Amino acid sequence: MQNKENDAQPGAAENFLDGKPLHSYTFLGSGADAWVWMNLRAFDGRDVKVIPVRLKDQLPNNFTKEFLIERSGGKPSLKIFAT
């Protein structure tokens, strides 16, 4: 069952990442409800959209330094993203 925090994530992610570069990302939620939200090119290649993604592995440090946009709560442990 989804909670209200999950329902609010898409709008919050879009507002937070609006105007940020392609591949910029942030973490929203906590525990089992945590997601990585990332600016990715749309399938048609015309737009950049904020998309929820699940990470299987930790991202390389150079990628994190360039693209992670941390929110005031910091980021959760990446262990929750393992599948």
Contact yes or no for 41/17 (Cβ under 8 A): no
Closest to 71 measured CA to CA, from 22, 21, 30: 30
Mean pLDDT, rounded, for 57-81: 70
pLDDT at residue number 45: 87
53 vs 72, more confident? 53
| pLDDT at residue 74 greater than cutoff 70 | no
pLDDT digits over 18-58, tens only? 999 999 999 887 776 778 999 999 888 889 999 998 877 77
- Tell me the C-alpha to C-alpha distance, in Å, between residue 70 and each of 25, 42, 66, 67: 8, 23, 11, 10
Residues ≥6 apart with Cβ < 8 Å to 38: 17, 23, 24, 25, 50, 51, 53
